[in-house]
Amino acid sequence: MSIGPDSKCKYPFKGLGYENEKDTVFLKNVVKRSNVIVGDFSYFHDTNSVDFENNNVLYHYSFSKEKLIIGKFCALAEGAKFIMNTMFHSLKGFSSYPFSLFQRGWEKNFDPASLPDRGDTVVGNDVWIGYDATILSGKKIGDGAIIGAKSVVTKDVPPYAIVGGNPAKIIRMRFDENIVKELLEIAWWNWPIEKISRNISAIIGADLQKLKDAK
């Protein structure tokens, strides 16, 4: 008998008796764009709509070069948004106004190289992104990090950091440097699902040795 939810299902709460079982989805089974990549068991919850790509990944299109990459076992709360690269205007000239966008002759002055390129936006594994948080394009959020509600992430976030505010700043580290290093080496999210299922008590506990000894 299998243990745990099916990573390939769309609605992980289906059949568990929850009244609003369609408010939560495993994102990997919802996204359709090739430039949005999500790992197993990462979920998104929103009581209004779970149309994540259109409502929460903003200024990002099928032709966009940059990717949004979200790791495994991430928890994304309602209103969590990603502002992608296409939003940004060039700041190299005297005006930031996007004349070429309206064409009709204005587009001849457009130089694609003038647009900012912040690269891929990458969310690590086991990351919790709180209610109504905003992640700006090209930012890297490390494994195990927590993004506080209504935060605006304008800089990279280290692994296992708790950040909050606008702009988001480190409130504290969840664990000391040595423990973080060991957790990143263990990388439990890459274990086979059977091993994860056997060792959930160690994963959610605070006994590092028990996690290291997991079979």
Residues labelled as active-site residues: 89
Q: How far apart (Å, rounded) are the C-alpha atoms in residues 143 and 71?
A: 8
Q: Which two tokens stand for residue 84?
A: 């992608």
* DSSP assignments along the chain, one per residue: ---S--TT-S-TTTTTT-TTGGGEEEGGGT---TTEEE-TT-EEE-SS---HHHHTEET--TT-SS-EEE-SS-EE-TT-EEE-GGGPPP-SSS----GGGG-TTGGGG--GGGS-----EEE-SS-EE-TT-EEETT-EE-TT-EE-TT-EE-S-B-TTEEEETTTTEEEEESS-HHHHHHHHHH-GGGS-HHHHHHTHHHHHSS-HHHHHT--
